[in-house]
Amino acid sequence: MSQVSVIRMDRSQAEPLELADVLTEAPYNPFLIKDAVVYQQAKSRQGTHSAKTRGQVAGSNRKVYRQKGTGNARMGNRKAVQRRGGGVVHGPHPRSHAFKLNKKVRKAALRCALAEKLRQGLLVVLDTVEPASHKTKEFAAWLQELNAPKALIVTHDVGHNLALAARNLPNVTVLRVGQLNVYNLLLFEKVLATRQAMLALQERLTR
């Protein structure tokens, strides 16, 4: 077990948190990270791109000009794929871009990313994140004191004051621990996680 220092919202030291070595000392693997990020981005693609085939293009089926005597190549209707405004051959159609990535691989990638954040001192564990006020200005000043004006906040439960205080900060995102993945973890340099969130992550990633 490894001990991780924990601070309160007033930046005083709290009781340290014990985490499993498999979570804090996972070696950095860029290939795992890359696979997890591509997986997450592929899942989030809308896949609504679409092109019309010649059967879907609106227009007449009348032959453009007569078969012989014009000196031009033979031509059918205006919806032919070689004509401007015609259909598209093998064009894109709505589909899902998601692909399967084994659960073990996703867990290993998240352990790897979390361990690297801890090693670099970019993951701050807080006893709780429960602002006394819902005022955004006060919450932004508190983040500035922690040197985390741009931060991802991972918590077990998003309280009313926290939701209101953080929602208008463009560079701050608040996530429940179940929503955390490698992609949104790497989007932010600084990560603030509560004690409960880290324990829930440990349970999720070590079983």
Percent of the chain with pLDDT over 70: 100
Average pLDDT along the chain: 91
User: Is pLDDT above 90 for 41?
Assistant: yes
Residue 114 φ then ψ, to 5°: -65, -45
Q: Which fold has domain 2-46+96-206?
A: Ribosomal Protein L4; Chain: A; (3.40.1370)
pLDDT at residue 86, as a whole number: 93
Domain limits of the chain? 2-46+96-206, 51-91
Collapsed DSSP state (helix, strand, coil) of residue 43: helix
pLDDT at residue 125, as a whole number: 92
pLDDT at residue 88, as a whole number: 95
103-162 pLDDT tens trace: 999 999 999 999 999 999 899 999 988 888 899 999 999 999 888 889 999 999 888 999
Helix axes 30-44, 103-119, angle to 10 degrees: 120
14-29 pLDDT tens trace: 898 888 888 888 999 9
Give me Rg for the CA atoms of the chain. 27
Whole-structure pTM over 0.85, yes or no?
A: no
Residue 22 has what DSSP assignment? H
